[in-house]
Amino acid sequence: FTIAIPLICLIGILTNLIVIATVHYKPNEKEMKENQYSYMSLNAFCNLFILSFQSISLISECDLITNGMDLEEYGIFCSSVRRNVFSQFYRIIFVEYLTHVFYVMSNLSYICYSINRLSLIGQEHGKFVTKLSKLKVKKFILITFIFCLVLPLSKIFTYKPNYFRPDHNYPDYLELYQINKALNFFYLIANILYNLISSLGFIVANLVVDINILRAMKQVIAERAKNTSRIIQSNEIQKKY
């Protein structure tokens, strides 16, 4: 899995670059002027940042194996620069924090993308769908920017730089209970909240939107079928008379 990370990230980076290039390609502007394509592009940009951060994350990774004598040995991969201060701060800031910031933005943009798709199916929609489908991407970013920064804030307290303990991880886990009880409580609450929203919350939100898309599609198909049957009956009556 460790070796496969750069390859998987490279494939993801290429596919998201294709999405961005397709949406912003000038000859496609007329066909892709709807709001949903702007959210598709934003989603691809967020994924691009996530994959870029993850593709370089191996600089702070070391595969350690514990043998029967409780001694650790190097496994299949161990970064030679993992002890470097830059590598440690890269792990703390970019991999552990900013990756989750863009993950939240990616999920929110995908939900808005799906809602915009829903607004294009049929005629009648609720006030929430109608209002959100008219929300421009720039305004969406301004509204959700602080939320995306604050929600995964607990992730930046997961590790601390390791300067003097060669027998520990690089970076090392931050033991909050030894520092401050209030900080430890904040970390636990914030981490639980983030995990609930990022795992369960986004899944439920996407599921609700997808179910509504299916319902709207069924309704449109049923209406078209009725209209078609009426036209056929009308034609048959005209032929008789």
- pLDDT for residue 183: 77
Whether 41 has a pLDDT exceeding 50, the answer reads yes
By the 8 A CB rule, do 173 and 85 touch?
Answer: no
Whether 68 has a pLDDT exceeding 60, the answer reads no
Amino acid letter, residue 225: A
**How many Å is the maximal CA-CA distance in the chain?**
97
- The CA-to-CA distance between both ends of the chain, in Å, stands at 74
- pLDDT for residue 177: 60
Whether 234 has a pLDDT exceeding 80, the answer reads no
Rounded percentage of the chain residues whose pLDDT exceeds 90: 41
More confident residue, 226 or 36: 36
- Give the mean pLDDT of 46-73: 77
Radius of gyration of the chain from its Cα atoms, rounded to whole angstroms: 25
How many CB atoms lie under 10 A from the CB of residue 103?
21
Whether 71 has a pLDDT exceeding 50, the answer reads no
Whether 103 has a pLDDT exceeding 90, the answer reads yes
- Give the mean pLDDT of 214-224: 87
Which residues 6+ apart lie within 8 Å of 186 measured at CB? 154
Whether 121 has a pLDDT exceeding 90, the answer reads no
More confident residue, 77 or 178: 77
| Least confident among 28-42, 117-131, 221-235 | 221-235
| Least confident among 20-29, 51-60, 66-75, 92-101 | 66-75
More confident residue, 69 or 228: 228
Q: How confident is the model at residue 24 (pLDDT cuts 50, 70, 90)?
A: confident
Tell me the residue length of the chain: 241
How many CB atoms lie under 10 A from the CB of residue 99?
19
pLDDT tens column, 145-199:
999 999 999 898 888 888 888 777 888 887 766 667 777 888 889 999 999 999 8
Long-range contacts of 220-224 (CB under 8 A, 24+ apart): 220/121, 220/122
Cα–Cα distance for residue pair 158/176, rounded to 1 Å: 9
By the 8 A CB rule, do 19 and 40 touch?
Answer: yes
pLDDT tens column, 197-216:
998 999 999 999 999 989 88
- pLDDT for residue 238: 65
